[in-house]
Structure 1
């Protein structure tokens, strides 16, 4: 008697487990924006895999989809091939929904009630991305920048960032500027605006547009952002003269003999680049002379008539991180 009860307890769970068969799983995909009635690619459910005759031994078998979003598709049987296929019932948008997990059910004679539907398979449908969104900038349509004209070369003066609602290569962006100019460069991968050449003495503002283009096919380009950069002339700060009770501020047109000018220059600055200009001085007609160091050993040169300080040889921060210059300014008229 004891052994009989023990065997009954073991056999009942085993019998119950056999009734819960794992449903076959199928996977397919469809591109977003495909027209209605587009077939789900990569998805073909053989009727023999779901053993439909077990559910409907008599003719009149129908297939029905159910689950969240099942109304976006319809199932039908391909009688010649003996397969069940899925087609879309509306245009899909990946940004709204990227995947569906549905069940395929079989109902006999009619599918009026959910209770008569028997699940026979599970289906996952991925909605693939198409390049249907152009990049957009997070900033305003116009950007105004005031930049010190002694700013070091290769300085990042601004950064623009665009976004793309697509995915994959369709969302990878490249930045570019139009028209090209010799003073500023837009890094294609980051959207950073770099100062690449001196803006000393520029009489007007620098204007250019920045665009973002994605890597999709066909590629889409954003609307341009107008960047306006206004060079601002540096202000001199005269040193206090011996015996003077206070340090008076001179206008830019006057350079005091004790004036100290500090500049930051990139070691990658190209030979021939103008670092700054000492003109105009306090004299109507001035001559400029490099006193220290000697011109033969100095990596910069001073224009005798213009007062421009120009790079004459490559700079090396590791060898000479700080360069001190002494420039003598004389009145050509001898006054």
Structure 2
């Protein structure tokens, strides 16, 4: 016949109660002495209380009050003259006493885990006088433990981590179960641990609850998490013991035991020759089964014919190798490049070097595609000169541009009229010869900056631009002019030879060594003998001047 948990506890209670009562009946009465007790003016020797040791079995399931023990004084002759009084913890509410016999009973089911003992006081009174015949005495009723509490994992469920590839016996985590039963009495609180789920990968030490690895070379990349079920059983694991369980989730943490590997031995990418410098040409990635820092890698261009044209860096977020351009591409100069790329782990674990090299190689071929480029001038800036006296149609100079593509399409020229609004110049559409289209005036504009357009005949959308600076050379085509209109006053008492006015002249022309002017009076003014003009040759002022003198 199998017993359930409740029936089994009841059986244990009955057995323990039987043993307890048997011990009470066989125990030698304990006695204590105290000072003489005085009553009614007479002295007599105090008599002792007599009782057995008091123990109450917890969780008693019977219907009748549970007998605890008996109080008795040797003053009591059994004639009913003595009555017993009980006070203290649980008196009347939990424990009752037969005032005639001194028998104590428990009226409620007791739980040792709630309260392990009760302290009470007993007194024997004379029934007629209601006065004590013995001094009040204190005693303890202990609650006898039974195995009625299963072990519990108060901190569960647990989570833990252990590095993959750990050796057998590596500690993972310690679990602890507590049992509310009395640890000083029997085996009710003595717990042993066992593993119900998680073998053969893990084991648990029966006494300590320390979980350890049980298999070597557990690989996170194959399986990274395990769910364990741990049991704690009291009564040292014997039959009839109570048990509790908890779960432990164990995660294998990563170690760098996997090298990077390119999924392909070679790659090919096509890029247009017009791609700007610093543009991304390609992204490649080596696969690494590890995670986090163990999967971090660096890339290098270790060989190839594009060492100075391309560079590779790593994207920290994706661990991709990013290939970018360092120099402009030119299909007409080179149509393809072949690069040898290496990927290597940045954090290598020496323990796993025996597994092989922690790097890998691949080949990247970059094909440069031809792009229809605009015509290119032989010079970015042309400098030309022409005299301002040049006649219309005078040739100033020639510009030249060509189609850099393999097709070498013919080029036609024109002037960007936004840079020559007055249309001073023309250009031959086929030859690039620039001529004058209008008379030029250096004094109006000494330098003309114009933009020449070169357009592919086969694709007018492809336009190149060249820049021409035309300097106008000066000729002496401007007469001197007085710097200002002069109006002079003179005092009537001015002395002869006194300078009354200095005059000066300017010229819009720009000879290399500057102008030299000669001053004289007109014939009409020369007849006036009151004034003379002195020509100051060699004056170093910005313009030469003369002085009018009074004589």
Per-residue CA distance 1:284-329 (angstroms, 9 max, x = gap): 9xxxxxxxxxxxxxxxxxxxxxxxxxxxxxxxxxxxxxxxxxxxxx
Q: Choose which of 120, 133, 154 in structure 2 pairs with 1:138.
A: 154
What is the match of residue 209 of structure 1? 229
Structure 1 Cα separation of the partners of residues 346 and 138 of structure 2:
85
Specify which of 76, 100, 106 is matched with residue 118 of structure 2: 100
Question: Secondary structure of 2:159's partner?
Answer: strand
Instruction: Judge conservation of contact 1:200–1:276 (CA < 8 Å) in 2.
Output: no
* Map 1:201-240 → 2, pairs under 5 A: 203-204=222-223, 205-215=225-235, 218-234=240-256, 235=294
Is the 8 Å Cα contact of residues 159 and 192 (structure 1) preserved in structure 2? Answer: yes
Deviations along 1:227-282, one digit per CA (max 9) or x if unpaired, are: 242443432788999x9xxx98997xx98599853349xxxxxxxxxx98559863
The residue that corresponds to 1:324 in the other structure is none
1:31 aligned residue: 57
- Whole-angstrom CA distance in 2 between matches of 1:131 and 1:218: 9
Higher-strand-fraction structure: 2
The structural deviation recorded for 1:29 is: 0.8
1:221 deviation in Å?
Answer: 1.5
Partner of 1:309: none
C-alpha distance in structure 1 between counterparts of 2:36 and 2:162, whole Å: 80
Match among 175, 185, 193 for residue 193 of structure 2: 175
State the alpha-carbon separation in 1 of the partners of residues 127 and 118 from structure 2.
27
Pair 1:158 & 2:173 matched: yes
Q: Please, which of 143, 150, 163 is the counterpart of residue 127 of structure 1?
A: 143
Which deviates more, 164-173 or 199-208?
199-208
Deviations 1:12-52 (A, max 9, x none): x9997976666446422111111451122xx455x5x5222
The alignment's C-alpha RMSD in Å is 4.6
Confirm or deny: 8 A CA contact 1:137 1:162 kept in the other structure.
yes
2:105 to 87, 99, 106: 87
For residues 73 and 201 of structure 1, do their structure 2 counterparts lie closer, same or farther at Cα, with a shift above 3 Å needed? Answer: closer
Q: Which has the higher contact order (CA 8 A, sep 6+)?
A: 1
Q: SS state of the match for residue 89, structure 2?
A: coil
Matches within 5 A, 1:41-60: 43-45=69-71, 47=72, 49-53=73-77, 59=80
Q: Does residue 70 of the first structure (1) align with residue 91 of the second (2)?
A: yes
Q: Offset of 1:127 from its aligned partner?
A: 0.6
User: Aligned partners of 1:133 and 1:256: how far apart in 2?
Assistant: 58
Q: 1:150 to 1:69 in 2, by over 3 A?
A: same
1:148 and 1:125 map into 2 onto residues whose CA distance is: 55
Q: Secondary structure at the match of 1:70?
A: coil
Alignment partners' CA distance in 2, 1:68 and 1:116:
23
Cα distance between partner residues in 2 of 1:258 and 1:15: 94
Q: 1:282 aligns with which of 360, 378, 381?
A: 360
Count of paired positions: 245
Label 1:87 to 1:60 Cα distance change in 2 as closer, same or farther (>3 A): same
Q: Is 2:350 the counterpart of 1:262?
A: yes
Determine if contact 2:229/2:245 at 8 Å carries over to the other structure. no
Task: Summarize deviations over 1:64-102 as a string: whole Å, max 9, x none.
Answer: 222233232223389xxxx74322121111122212333
Structure 2 residues not aligned, in runs of 5+: 1-34, 257-293, 303-312, 320-341, 363-551
Aligned to 1:329: none
Q: How far has the Cα of 1:131 moved from its partner?
A: 1.6
Deviation at 1:194? 0.8
Alpha-carbon contact 1:133-1:166 (below 8 Å) kept:
yes
Q: Is the 8 A contact 1:155 1:195 kept in 2?
A: yes
Cα distance in structure 2, aligned partners of 1:106 and 1:26? 16
Structure index of larger Rg:
2
> After alignment, is 232-241 or 98-107 more displaced?
232-241
| Contact 1:157 1:193 (C-alpha < 8 Å) held by counterparts | yes
Q: 1-side partners of 2:105 and 2:178: how far apart?
A: 32
How high is the TM-score relative to the length of structure 2?
A: 0.37
